[in-house]
Amino acid sequence: MGSRASSLLREEDIEEIKKQTGFSHSQITRLYSRFHSLDKGENGALSREDFQRIPELAINPLGDRIINAFFPEGEDQVNFRGFMRTLAHFRPVEDNEKNKDPTSGEPLNSRTNKLFFAFRLYDLDRDDKISRDELLQVLRMMVGVNISDEQLGSIADRTIQEADTNGDMCISFSEFTKVLEKVDVEQKMSIRFLH
């Protein structure tokens, strides 16, 4: 039967997470309850297996890449803070935040940060550029066995050609941003959290 999930989260922690991520108090407690229900080992942290237990995520072609985005470099466990930090990228951008004072640091759910999250999904080795090889690998994940190597290769070549402005045959983050400047990133990379 249910365990007292929310009582394990202290008020100070909730306040800190609220400041860092911008989620409301009730959203944080609900997400903590969700975190807790995913944490089958009950050790306060999620492992990759915990994520893979979600069927809808397991059948997502980019499931593994998304799971990877939650884990910092070289680590196997993500705690609640890290979980919330990653989820914060998907908070919708509220109007009153657009006028926020830039010296307080960019909010996690800004357009740039959302784009960077997506960039990281392509950038497998985290060297801040997307090589042809990396693009091919991600494309292969998305299409499975349904498209031939040659066709996929030409798709990758074309994409790099269109995006690459400095001729290094890789896509950097600024080139990535330029290519997507007309896309409504704020809407496409936001989840409607209920209050």
For binding to another protein (CB under 8 A), which residues are involved? 1-2, 4-7, 25-27, 29-31, 33-34, 37-38, 51-63, 66, 87, 90, 117-118, 121-122, 138-139, 142-147, 151, 155, 158-159, 162-163, 171, 176, 179-180, 182-183, 185, 188-194
- The answer to whether 32 and 9 have CB atoms below 8 angstroms apart is yes
> What is d(CA 30, CA 34) in angstroms, rounded to the nearest whole number?
6
- The answer to whether 173 and 113 have CB atoms below 8 angstroms apart is no
Token readout for 61 is 């072609």
Q: Which residues are CB-neighbours of 16 under 8 A, at least 6 positions away?
A: none
Which C-beta is closer to another protein: that of 37 or that of 100? 37
Which C-beta is closer to another protein: that of 5 or that of 93? 5
- Give me the least distance between CB of 183 and another protein, in Å please: 5
- Give me the least distance between CB of 180 and another protein, in Å please: 6
E-only strand ranges, 54-114: 78-79
- Give me the least distance between CB of 100 and another protein, in Å please: 23
